[in-house]
Chain A
Amino acid sequence: MITAGCDVGSLTAKVVILADGAIAGRSVVRCGTSPERSAVEAMDAALGRAGLAIERLDRTVGTGYGRARIPFAQAIESEIACHARGVLWKAPAARTVIDIGGQDAKAIRMNADGRVIQYSYNDKCASGTGRFLEVIAEALEVPLEELGDLAARSTERLTLSNQCVIFAETEIISLVNEGRETADIVNALHHAVARRAASLARGIGVEEAVVMSGGVARNRGMFAALGAALGCSLLEIEDPQINGALGAALIAMDALMGAVEG
């Protein structure tokens, strides 16, 4: 049985191909303005890695912001369900999932069967998103991927109070103007985003083990800051960026198996 999950987010599109319960191919591509094209591009890349033709896929599930526009998906699922499903597969002990996505952050609480008990999105106007990190990285002229390493070199604790992305950018510029170290600013940024995500999770109740899902989890500084904000250690999963797509592929698999069983 071969299934695929396609997660078209606001910044990147991801595809995971599952063949008989193992990841056969994966891809991450940067989104253009057309979700269709991004989806196709990501799918082609993943198929290429898996050495498969699209006809071989038994079922594909789409998710993410652009889910309704994925041309080859047979079904669509919410990101909430996909992230929960993906995490459960990789870390069965997980009960709380935090995903800091491009446009929004989500906290999900689930039971042992992977059923979503409660979830919440970031509050309106909040800055705890991946987009926030991106804007600031740009303002600081630091590549997004390097934020984590940079924060590790921080020596002084700074506080960022602005919740608005744009005004936080101004706040950061004034910190730069004051001659603050970039490492300290980045560290403060991570903690600011982490604190917002932690409040979000606390609102629905945090149950361990906690897993951070989504691309931002690859940022070591962010990962550590979230643990600190929650006051517990996070369970690490491999390749968190493709977790949503993986969840979608798993849900596709579940559906086929359910159909067989039924």
Chain B
Amino acid sequence: MRRALKEYHFDWMLHSTYDAASRLMAGTEKEYAHALRYIPYFSGMLDAVFGIGEPGRYFIKTCAEYLKNIVTARERGRKVAITSFCFSPVIFYAMDITPICLEVMTVFLTFTYRRGSAEFLDFCNEAGFTETSCSSQRGSLGAYLAGIGVDIDMVVTDTPGVCDTNANAFAFAAEWLDRPFFQLDMPPLLKGERYDRYHRDDYRALVAFLEEQTGTRLEAARLAEVLRELQKQDELIGELEEMGRIVPSPLPPAFTLLNYAARFLFAGMKPCTDMLQSMLTMARRNAERGVSGLAGGVERVRGFFCYIDHYTYNMRMWRMSEELGISLQGNILSRNWSIDAPHVKENHMEESAYSIDLTSLDSMIDSVAIMNSRMPMIKSIRGPFDAPDMWLEDTLSLARMYSADFVVYSGTPGCRNTWGMLKPFARETEKAGFPTHIMYSDAFDDRVQSWEATRARFEEFLKVRRILA
């Protein structure tokens, strides 16, 4: 890591950038253009996000607030926990702990820094961490290992049993930073009394750990408050997911990103509800007018991502979708498994979903335990890909439900979990009639394959497979 980079505090840098951006929307067009001269690289992302209107502004505001919480955690007497994207943050909010989601921070980085996460990734290797591991955690983890982020109090993850590379990054971080560590462990299957009990026992151990770390008890009233907000959000997300089925889809491609933010940053918090509400208003307006959510208003094809979207860098993936007229129907990781979610009802998957029971503290903890076991990736990518409730079943049912014309895999070479079964998986999706494209790029690291090459291969796929003539 170059010395210059170490001179700046990582979270403050991100915070000031997003905070400044969130203020931009109040100003005039000219002020906006003027301000962006100082953060030229960031402008690509901002243009894209502000381009979708009000929901985009809520998104930036949400990000700014999330980052503000991080940088002010200490002065507000809050404990700080490093955690993973597939970990529901509601428990942290109910216990006044400030979560730092490593994968989300890495996405922020790729949006903001011109060189993206490269040097942070490399710093992890310099610290002794393996270079073949997943870039999604490594990106921002490098900053915390280098000591240019906020001080961390604990490390909490829920990927053991699901994704080794992910779990391993958190275990390494805890050891390297010498901080208390807690893992939720996931058995290979999802449903059934034995699995439910394990999920619940494990989650109770987590609560005990957090109580020990904070020196406070988890209060029923606080948890209920957060969960009530979450229920509202689940309803809004459900409506948005339902609207995604309309042809043309009234949802702009970047809604996937906003959806992530809702789940991973601020689930159960008010600003997130506002953002979802605004997204829904916009989607409804598009639907009423019968137009696509794409900037051009014309949907040519619909694509479903079977893993994650391509973030790297500067929202280029979403911008390309706009240009080509591709409606992105989200991906496996942007899916919500609330019992009322449209795909849950449509496919009678109630048992693989979660519901919130506010009756007592116990019932709430159980609800959160089961919800956590149904978080993105945690739910679909644990056991064999072709087992019930797993990756293939979820991908096919969602791709069909959202009338996708093709399926794309985008991930990172560090993903042992998916690359270990991707070829047989793609064979099955092909068999089911979905032309399937595998990207060899890294969603967080441009150095693996340049965006130019990634785009060229993708367009070639659309053309050769006669999806987009």
Query: Residues on A close to B: CB < 8 A?
Result: 78, 80-81, 115-116, 118-121, 123-124, 203-205
Contact = CB atoms under 8 A, between A and B. Distances in A.
B463 interface: yes
B460 interface: yes
A119 B449 contact: no
A78 B449 contact: no
25 contacts: A78-B460, A78-B463, A78-B464, A80-B460, A80-B464, A81-B463, A81-B464, A115-B466, A116-B464, A116-B465, A118-B430, A118-B435, A119-B464, A120-B438, A121-B440, A121-B457, A123-B440, A124-B413, A124-B440, A124-B448, A124-B449, A203-B423, A203-B427, A204-B427, A205-B427
A205 B465 CA distance: 16
B463 to A, nearest CB: 6
Nearest to A205: B427
Instruction: Give the bracket for the number of chain B residues in contact with chain A.
Output: 10 to 19
Contacts of A80: 460, 464
Interface in B441-459: 448-449, 457
B5 to A, nearest CB: 28
A78 B466 CA distance: 12
B186 to A, nearest CB: 29
B18 to A, nearest CB: 33
Interface string B73-86: 00000000000000
A116 B465 CA distance: 7
Given A81-B463, A123-B440, A124-B449, 8 more contacts: A81-B464, A115-B466, A124-B413, A124-B440, A124-B448, A203-B423, A203-B427, A204-B427
Contacts of A81: 463-464
A204 B436 CA distance: 11
Interface in B218-259: none
Contacts, number: 25
Nearest to B430: A118
Contacts of A116: 464-465
Contacts of B463: 78, 81
Contacts of B427: 203-205
B92 to A, nearest CB: 37
A121 B449 CA distance: 14
Contacts of A205: 427
Nearest to B460: A78
Nearest to A77: B463
> Top 7 A-B pairs ranked by shortest CB distance?
A78-B460, A124-B440, A80-B464, A116-B464, A203-B423, A78-B464, A81-B464
A81 B465 CA distance: 9
A252 to B, nearest CB: 16
Contacts of A119: 464
A120 B409 CA distance: 13
Contacts of B465: 116
A121 B427 CA distance: 15
B251 to A, nearest CB: 30
Contacts of A78: 460, 463-464
A231 B160 CA distance: 41
Nearest to B441: A124
Contacts of B466: 115
Contacts of A121: 440, 457
A80 B460 CA distance: 9
A262 to B, nearest CB: 14
A67 to B, nearest CB: 10
A118 B423 CA distance: 13
A78 B438 CA distance: 17
A120 B440 CA distance: 11
A118 to B, nearest CB: 6
Contacts of B438: 120
A155 to B, nearest CB: 36
Interface string B427-439: 1001000010010
Contacts of A120: 438
Contacts of B430: 118
A123 B206 CA distance: 41
Nearest to B419: A123
Nearest to B449: A124
A116 to B, nearest CB: 5
B451 to A, nearest CB: 15
Interface in B401-433: 413, 423, 427, 430
A80 B463 CA distance: 10
